[in-house]
């Protein structure tokens, strides 16, 4: 049966209209001429029995025979080259019709990216989206471990109404790592503005529907990854339907990611319910094999620390030989990190991760403009103060660069951020 299937597949290459046979025949003809030319050049009378009249012609002039051999060989090589070139174009025109003229560049990029470092990024939200867009230019060995504790917006509604894991942060990471046309990215990010679907994101609905069709959330992510042709892998921090809760400084317990940030109170600690929450084996394996583990940028408690609460993840990070990097947000976040300095961000992170686990902390030193400051101040957010002396006391190497680049938002420059990380990995390798 296997032999029959192989023969059937081979015969399909000879179907009319796919422009394969003509170029295949051209290659075969070129090979025949090339072999003939080589035989002439190397004096075939020593290898073949040639009858009288042919022997007489061959002996007439060795120079003439050699010239004829060279001509045949050159024509043969030309036909082989032309045939192979057109064979490739015919195949690629069918498989990737819109990128047939970029095949060499695509092959080069794929080869270069396949040699890139293994990086695990932990977080969620727009901060992670920005970082992933930068990193995918350097490697395709990226694993994004993403929070699935959202209770607000489209993701929260889908979680409450259908009982699925919130897909919002997963969708953002898939789009960030996508290599498809921009139209597909726009489609996945499209948000309905009226009707019963108002507020819902197409990508969220797609992943939810794919979960039903494929049978589980992981399969839905894998299928969506194939459709978007992502560079790397996106994993939820857990597959359990759990709640992120927080104990406030005044002792009040607040449950739910959105509810925590909107409580208006100071967070004492966060935890998951029910507990313990188990991670995916793929996540632990990725952390073990990583050359770099990146935490942030993103909401300190509800995007980063919440992932560290999953059993085994903090331990795996601590035991990993990878360099550990924390990327601090440019702005504080109302309801989470009000008036936090950089060292306070780091101290909170160490409560859940362990002291002396972080090797480097990356901070932005570019001063954002006054107009943007005022906009953020209305939302209770301010530029994070870099308290250099306190950071150095903690034994973490500080990397301070001008990383703000978006005039309308306080976002990191994805390319600069990625380059810093790649340089740190290269330095470690020596």
- Residue 110 forms part of a structural domain: no
Q: Based on the fold, state whether residues 219 and 288 are members of the same structural domain.
A: no
Q: Based on the fold, state whether residues 311 and 364 are members of the same structural domain.
A: yes
Q: Based on the fold, state whether residues 424 and 283 are members of the same structural domain.
A: yes
Tokens standing for residue 171: 């969708």
**How many Cβ atoms from other residues are within 10 Å of residue 347's Cβ?**
15
Which of 136, 128, 132 has its CA nearest to residue 168? 128
Taking the C-alpha atoms of residue 121 and residue 104, their distance in angstroms, rounded to an integer, is 30
Residue 225 structural domain: 152-230
- Residue 103 forms part of a structural domain: no
- The predicted structure's pLDDT at residue 108: 63
Q: Based on the fold, state whether residues 208 and 291 are members of the same structural domain.
A: no
Backbone angles phi, psi at 345, to 5 degrees: -55, -50
For 245-291, what is the HEC assignment? EEEECCCCEEECHHHHHCCCCCEEEEEEECCCCCCCHHHHHHHHHCC
Please check whether residue 194 is in contact with residue 254, taking contact to mean a CB–CB distance below 8 angstroms: no
Please check whether residue 207 is in contact with residue 169, taking contact to mean a CB–CB distance below 8 angstroms: no
* CA-to-CA separations, 74 to 23, 25, 150, in angstroms, rounded: 18, 17, 67
Backbone angles phi, psi at 323, to 5 degrees: -75, 140
212-221 burial by CB neighbour count: b if 16+ within 10 A, else e? eeeeebbebb
How many domains would you assign to the chain? 3
Tokens standing for residue 199: 């507020």
Q: Based on the fold, state whether residues 69 and 89 are members of the same structural domain.
A: yes
Q: Based on the fold, state whether residues 302 and 381 are members of the same structural domain.
A: yes
- The predicted structure's pLDDT at residue 13: 57
Q: Based on the fold, state whether residues 7 and 79 are members of the same structural domain.
A: yes
Which of 202, 240, 231, 208 has its CA nearest to residue 221? 208
Tokens standing for residue 353: 């991760």
Q: Final residue of a domain: which of 230, 245, 260?
A: 230
Q: For residue 8, what is the DSSP state?
A: H
Three-class DSSP category at 58: helix
Q: Based on the fold, state whether residues 185 and 129 are members of the same structural domain.
A: no
Backbone angles phi, psi at 77, to 5 degrees: -60, -40
- Residue 137 forms part of a structural domain: yes
Q: Based on the fold, state whether residues 269 and 120 are members of the same structural domain.
A: yes
- Residue 420 forms part of a structural domain: yes
Which of 142, 129, 420 has its CA nearest to residue 296? 129
- Residue 185 forms part of a structural domain: yes
CATH of the domain at 277: 3.40.50.10680
Please check whether residue 383 is in contact with residue 367, taking contact to mean a CB–CB distance below 8 angstroms: yes
Tokens standing for residue 411: 């976002």
Tokens standing for residue 62: 């060795």
Q: Final residue of a domain: which of 214, 230, 246?
A: 230
Q: Based on the fold, state whether residues 218 and 350 are members of the same structural domain.
A: no
- Residue 111 forms part of a structural domain: no
Backbone angles phi, psi at 339, to 5 degrees: 65, 15
Q: Final residue of a domain: which of 175, 205, 230?
A: 230
Which of 123, 160, 71 has its CA nearest to residue 329? 123
Q: Based on the fold, state whether residues 265 and 344 are members of the same structural domain.
A: yes
Q: Is the pTM of this model over 0.95?
A: no
Taking the C-alpha atoms of residue 74 and residue 204, their distance in angstroms, rounded to an integer, is 59
Please check whether residue 297 is in contact with residue 101, taking contact to mean a CB–CB distance below 8 angstroms: no
Which of 299, 360, 368 has its CA nearest to residue 329? 299
In which element (H, E) is residue 145 found?
A: strand 142-146
- Residue 108 forms part of a structural domain: no
- pLDDT tens series, the chain, 430 aa: 445 454 555 556 566 656 677 888 888 898 988 888 887 676 555 544 443 444 555 555 566 667 777 888 899 898 888 888 887 777 766 665 555 556 556 666 777 888 999 999 999 988 999 999 999 999 999 999 999 998 888 998 999 889 899 999 999 999 999 987 688 888 999 999 998 899 999 999 999 999 999 999 999 999 999 999 899 999 999 999 899 999 999 999 999 999 999 998 999 999 999 989 999 999 999 999 999 999 999 999 999 999 999 999 999 999 999 999 999 999 999 999 999 999 999 999 999 999 899 999 999 999 999 999 999 999 999 999 999 999 999 999 999 999 998 778 999 999 999 999 999 999 988 7
Helix 202-214 to helix 168-176 angle (10° resolution) is 100
Taking the C-alpha atoms of residue 234 and residue 303, their distance in angstroms, rounded to an integer, is 15
Q: Based on the fold, state whether residues 218 and 280 are members of the same structural domain.
A: no
- Residue 388 forms part of a structural domain: yes
Instruction: Mention every residue, 6+ apart, whose C-beta is less than 8 A from residue 325.
Output: 292, 293, 294, 295, 358, 359, 360, 361, 362, 421, 424
Between strands 292-295 and 360-364, the pairing is: unpaired
């Amino acid at each position: 049966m296997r032999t029959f299937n192989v023969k059937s597949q081979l015969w399909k290459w000879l179907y009319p209209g796919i422009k394969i046979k003509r170029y295949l025949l051209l290659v075969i003809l070129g090979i025949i001429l090339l072999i003939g030319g080589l035989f002439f050049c190397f004096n075939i009378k020593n290898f073949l029995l040639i009858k009288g009249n042919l022997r007489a012609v061959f002996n007439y002039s060795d120079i003439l025979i050699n010239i004829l051999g060279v001509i045949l060989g050159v024509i043969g090589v030309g036909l082989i080259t032309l045939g192979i070139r057109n064979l490739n174009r015919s195949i690629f025109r069918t498989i990737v019709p819109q990128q047939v003229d970029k095949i060499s560049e695509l092959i080069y990029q794929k080869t270069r990216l396949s040699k890139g470092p293994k990086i695990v990024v932990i977080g969620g939200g727009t901060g992670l989206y920005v970082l992933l867009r930068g990193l995918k230019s350097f490697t395709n060995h990226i694993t994004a471990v993403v929070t699935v504790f959202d209770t607000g917006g489209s993701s929260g509604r889908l979680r409450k109404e259908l009982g699925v894991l919130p897909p919002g942060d997963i969708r953002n990471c898939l789009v960030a790592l996508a290599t498809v046309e921009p139209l597909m990215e726009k489609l996945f990010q499209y948000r309905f503005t009226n009707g019963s679907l108002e507020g819902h994101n197409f990508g969220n609905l797609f992943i939810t529907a794919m979960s039903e069709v494929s049978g589980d959330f992981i399969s839905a992510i894998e299928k969506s990854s194939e459709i978007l042709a992502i560079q790397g892998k996106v994993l939820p921090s857990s597959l359990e339907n759990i709640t992120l809760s927080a104990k406030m400084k005044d002792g009040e317990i607040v449950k739910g990611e959105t509810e925590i940030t909107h409580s208006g109170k100071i967070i004492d600690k966060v935890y998951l319910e029910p507990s313990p929450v188990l991670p995916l084996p793929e996540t632990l394996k990725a952390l073990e094999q990583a050359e770099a583990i990146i935490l942030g940028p993103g909401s300190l408690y509800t995007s980063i620390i919440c992932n560290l609460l999953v059993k085994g993840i903090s331990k795996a990070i601590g035991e990993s030989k990878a360099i550990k990097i924390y990327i601090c947000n440019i702005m504080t976040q109302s309801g989470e990190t009000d008036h936090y300095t950089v060292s306070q961000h780091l101290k909170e992170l160490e409560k859940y991760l362990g002291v002396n686990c972080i090797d480097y902390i990356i901070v932005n030193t570019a001063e954002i403009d006054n107009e943007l400051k005022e906009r953020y101040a209305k939302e209770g957010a301010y530029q994070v103060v870099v308290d250099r002396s306190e950071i150095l006391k903690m034994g973490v190497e500080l990397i301070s660069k001008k990383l703000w680049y978006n005039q309308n938002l306080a976002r990191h420059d994805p390319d600069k951020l990625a380059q810093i990380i790649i340089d740190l990995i290269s330095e470690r390798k020596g």
